[in-house]
Amino acid sequence: MKDKVGIRGHLLIELFDANGKLKYWGEVINKVTDQGDILFAALSYTAAPTFNMKLGTAATAVSKTKANNGAFIASGNGSADYVTGSQLGMDSTYPKVGTSTPGAGSQVVFKRTWAAGVATATLNRVALVDSTEGTNPTDGTLTYAIALLPDAPIVKGAADTLAVTWTITFLGA
């Protein structure tokens, strides 16, 4: 008898102008990295790390393997990728843990909002990382999930606010 267990990630990206008007809305499925698989399995018996999100400018394809540049965002991974000041913790009431609609599996929801004047750049990707990761890691050891933004690049101007809601769903049999 085989039991199927899986992890799926989904991002909702919203960009608002200075007046709070929605400028951009998009959804994308992320890549849970090998390190993410290890972390999420270990959460059944260890304490969770403190999570951050960080933004990148490189259009590098995402990768599951931690040694691949597509598995992490850093200043020195072949381009000036990391958006200065973008690695921040979750919004005050996140992460949230719960169950979605019946049959859809248990979920963890992360949300980060970058206010006007923060992380102003032309953006291509976002990563879910351990808060102890520096701005220039040499591999994806502390990157748990990563995604190319839909319709990238997305330009976050100085007056814009960006919100990323990242839902990780644990799928049962």
Is the pLDDT confidence value at 32 over 60?
yes
Higher per-residue confidence, 71 vs 40: 71
**The two three-digit tokens of residue 67, written as one number:** 């040694």
- In this predicted structure, what is the pLDDT of residue 118? 97
Least confident of 1-5, 16-20, 128-132: 1-5
Is the pLDDT confidence value at 42 over 80?
no
**The two three-digit tokens of residue 10, written as one number:** 């989904």
pLDDT tens digits, 109-136: 899 999 999 999 999 999 999 888 887 8
Is the pLDDT confidence value at 16 over 70?
yes
DSSP assignment string, 127-149: EEEETT--SS-SSSTTEEEEEEP
- % of the chain at pLDDT higher than 70: 86
Question: Cα(157)–Cα(165) distance, rounded to whole angstroms?
Answer: 19
- Report yes or no: 75 and 135 within 8 Å, Cβ to Cβ: yes
Is the pLDDT confidence value at 99 over 70?
no
| pTM for this prediction | 0.85
